[in-house]
Structure 1
Amino acid sequence: MKLIRFGEKGLERPGIIHEGQWFDVSDYFEDYNEYFFENDGLKRLQQFVESNKGKLPKVSADERLGSPIARPSKIVCIGLNYADHAKETGATIPAEPVIFMKSTTALIGPNDEVMIPRDSQKTDWEVELAVIIGKKASYVEEAEAMDYVAGYALHNDVSEREFQLERNGTWDKGKGCDTFAPVGPFLATKEEIADVDNLRLWLSLNGKMMQDGTTANLIFKIPFLISYVSRFMTLLPGDMISTGTPAGVGLGFNPQVYLQPGDVVELGIDGLGTSKQKVIAFTKEIYKEVKTTTIKA
């Protein structure tokens, strides 16, 4: 299955993509949140769709898409997980995974605007494969790790390199700025992806290809990452692990290249669709667009 969330910011409703069309399931299902995944939501949704083919209300393809998962408890990111990316940034290939957190308030839809933070000079891009956790995971064995995967999504791990690398402390301050986590267009359940270790992922800036890699080059593979992260924190249903980016980020160029207002970033992963973000300058006006609603559970 392919899961979508659609509608205005803060008022997204759950839906699905079936045979290339979008359908609304919000009258029958809770949002795609921790409760949904924890309570066999994917199985319930699959059974419901099979029993109601031809009866579900259609959704216009003109509707805005939100992140395909509601705000998770955690966005866990893996740094320097492609050897070519570590090399271009002058970093040593890590002996163990580098873990940092990305604020859940950074989460936006796949085609929403990315806002350069106030005082930023070095806002960068990173196409990444995101893994969505399907059930509570703590001290998971690597051999069993894939049992904990609900599915996968496309993620742009937008980063502010000065905040991340030059302002002391952890990487988190350069990773969690508002709008820094465009996710989607959809969540593909794991049976949709035949070989997650052989997916092309790419990113272009203003039509010029900047990143063009493959998940075959991941240093630490998905089962190991799930097992490893679960030693240090409990992963809850709906949590997201972003698995790292290949070479071609702005930090790695000489001279370095960073995002400017008006730039357009496009990215994609085999089987997980594409997304496009326009870059805008910092403004507090963006906050006025966000609405709030009570999520069904």
Structure 2
Amino acid sequence: MRYVNFMHKGQPTLGVRTAEGVRVLGNESLESLLKRGVDLATYGENAQGPVIEIGEQDYLPLMQEPGKIVCVGLNYADHTKESPYAQPDYPTLFPRFNSSLTAHNKPLVRPRVSDTLDYEGEMAVVLKSGGRHISKEDALKHVAGYALFNEGSVREYQFKSPQWTVGKNFDDTGAFGPDLVTADELPSGGKGLLLETRVNGKVVQSANTDDMLFDVATVISTLSEAVTLSAGDVIVSGTPAGVGFGMNPKVYLKAGDVVEISIEGIGKLVNPVIDEV
């Protein structure tokens, strides 16, 4: 099943894609369904709502209030090589806040305080359950599905200190969606999928999710050693080489640019870039 979150009749609405359009499920959020323990792979099949077409500007972030958003840095070796860091032997983990989220077809906002907004095409992992001390062997049992994420980064602020959090959390820089694809429709662990980023139609990132140094199961297991994971949590699994910061000279996003993130089997996430007013 493919779930989408959008505005309909003035209300945030959840739906599932069908061959005819999007079937309306209602106003209960994706995160609420997950916390109730609903099996997303079958829930949408029983929906009786109307089938509609979603307007291009009607999409909302896939989840607006996930419990936790945890990002993985330096998870592709080629990306680490273009960064100022040595390759770590433990996942580089940092938080994203809900206030940073934006939606498919909505703008990424270049902040007025910096001209160093950069893109990062990534695969997001949405959890349906959690706990502590989850074994790697059991980790994928906790995955509800996968989505697209543009982990927009304001590099100047990311590198102001050893901790990256501020540069990774400017408002309207984390694009999330448009679809959640349930885990049963994709390879185990989201492996073997082509990930590409385009800026103004030009491919700037191209890699396979097999190239992740710490795969989805490893990240879930490692994170659960310290943090109690819960249904509705999101893990943003890392970006490959090709970011603007890694180019010589560096190339950052500017107003008028359009960024497209695509992952095989999941879809496409598109965002124009505007300047903060």
Q: TM-score, normalised by structure 1?
A: 0.88
Q: Helix, strand or coil: the match of 2:240?
A: coil
Q: Give % identity.
A: 35
Q: CA deviation at 1:13?
A: 0.8
Q: Does structure 2 conserve the Cα–Cα contact (< 8 Å) formed by 1:124 and 1:258?
A: yes
Aligned: 1:46 with 2:32: no
Structure 2 match to 1:84: 78
- For residues 103 and 68 of structure 1, what CA distance do their matches in structure 2 show? 14
8 Å contact 2:20–2:51 — kept in the other structure? no
Match of 1:173 among 166, 174, 183: 166
Judge conservation of contact 2:64–2:98 (CA < 8 Å) in 1: no
Out of 138, 146, 167, the residue aligned to residue 144 of structure 1 is 138
Give the distance between the partners of 2:245 and 2:193, measured in 1 at CA. Answer: 24
* Contact 2:101/2:172 (<8 A) preserved: yes
Pick which of 250-259 and 228-237 moved more: 228-237
- Give 3-state SS (helix, strand or coil) of 1:238's partner: coil
Question: Does the CA-based 8 Å contact 2:107-2:172 persist in structure 1?
Answer: yes
What's the counterpart of residue 286 of structure 1?
A: none
Residue correspondence of structure 1 range 50-199 to structure 2 within 5 A: 50-52=45-47, 55-62=48-55, 64-165=58-159, 167-195=160-188, 196-199=190-193
Report which of the two has the higher share of strand: 2
State whether residues 135 and 148 of structure 1, in contact with CA within 8 Å, keep that contact through their aligned partners in structure 2: yes
Q: Aligned with 1:227: secondary structure?
A: helix
Counterpart in the other structure of 2:5: 5
For residues 50 and 117 of structure 1, the distance between their equivalents in structure 2, rounded to whole angstroms, comes to: 42
Q: CA deviation at 1:279?
A: 0.5
Q: Which amino acid aligns with 1:149?
A: V
Measured in 1, the distance between the counterparts of 2:46 and 2:253 equals 47
What displacement does 1:232 show? Answer: 1.9
Aligned residues: 274
**Partner residue of 1:255 out of 231, 234, 249:** 249
Deviates more, 1:192-201 or 1:74-83: 192-201
Match of 1:18 in 2: 18
Q: Output the aligned Cα RMSD.
A: 1.7
* 2:132 counterpart SS class: coil
Give the AA of the match of 2:199: L
Residues 250 and 258, structure 1, Cα contact 8 Å, conserved in 2: yes
Distance 2:231 2:39 in 1: 11
- Match 2:206 to one of 209, 212, 227: 212
Tell me if the contact between 2:195 and 2:264 (Cα under 8 Å) persists in the aligned partners.
yes
Per-residue displacement from partner, 1:110-166 (whole Å, max 9, x unpaired)? Answer: 22101011211211000000000111322111110011101000000000111001x
Report SS of the residue matched to 1:257. coil
**How far has the Cα of 1:169 moved from its partner?**
4.4
1:245 is paired with a residue whose SS is coil
Q: CA deviation at 1:90?
A: 3.5
Gaps of 5+ in 2: none
Amino acid aligned to 1:187? L
CA 1:120–1:38: 2 relative to 1, 3 Å: same
Deviates more, 1:13-22 or 1:70-79: 13-22
SS at match of 2:172: coil
Q: What's the CA shift for 1:20?
A: 5.6
Q: Which residue is equivalent to 1:30?
A: 28
